[in-house]
Amino acid sequence: MTDDGTGKKGSGTGKKAGAVEVVGWVVTVQGFGSALTEAVWHHSFGVTGLISHVWRTPWWAGLLVGCVGVALVVAGRRRTA
């Protein structure tokens, strides 16, 4: 723990991941992970897997969800910068 000059103890980085960034990382893993498992094992998982079992989705749906996650991570990082 370090003192950043404000009298508060912290991890030393001075930044915390916001909710948007955390959600972005989860969505990124869910989307790209589902696309990868679909391509390799012909089985999807996570939110994309649930959606594909209820509705017919195209093969690129997991990639789209992963890209949305990356956009959320970038947006979250810009908010905390």
Percent of the chain with pLDDT over 70: 81
pTM exceeds 0.85 for this model: no
Domain boundaries, the chain: 18-80
What is the DSSP secondary-structure string of 12-52?
A: SS-----HHHHHHHHHHHHHHHHHHHHHHHS---HHHHHHH
**Mean pLDDT, the chain, whole residue set:** 84
